[in-house]
Amino acid sequence: MFTVDHGSFPSGHAVSAAVAAVTILALIPPARRGLRAVGFVVAAILLIGIVWQRTLINAHWFSDTIAGILAGLGVGLLLQWAFWPGLQRDFARRPGFARGRARAEHPAT
């Protein structure tokens, strides 16, 4: 179905999908357990789909996609670790729209 005439290890699509999944999950506050659980399920389905699709069209070997996912997870987790202090500060803040609403409810006299 698809001919690849160059090196394909690891799968760049799998790397990108794994980094995106970890990044999106890192932006969900730990206190939102239900939302995080849904995010993990969606991420798993996405990554399984990438493995299946890239292998199905013969663009990559199965090992290429697994290596790509592992590389992407590693990079994503390393970035999450590096930016964790900033993420914690951000989780503690109220969203901008909530701050604006509080001011509107209590106008200065």
DSSP calls for 55-101: HHTTSS-HHHHHHHHHHHHHHHHHHHHHHHHHHHHHHHSPPHHHHHH
> Could you state, in chain order, the average pLDDT of each consecutive group of 10 residues for the chain (109 residues)?
63 87 87 88 92 82 86 92 86 69 54
Q: What are phi and psi of 84, to 5 degrees?
A: -60, -45
pLDDT for 99: 61
pLDDT for 46: 92
Cut 0.75: pTM above it: no
What does the alpha-carbon distance between residue 10 and residue 7 come to, in Å, rounded to a whole number? 9
What does the alpha-carbon distance between residue 102 and residue 96 come to, in Å, rounded to a whole number? 10
pLDDT, tens digit, 9 for 90 and up, residues 48-58:
998 888 888 77
| Mean confidence (pLDDT) of the chain | 81
pLDDT, tens digit, 9 for 90 and up, residues 91-104:
877 766 666 555 55
pLDDT for 48: 93
What does the alpha-carbon distance between residue 4 and residue 37 come to, in Å, rounded to a whole number? 37
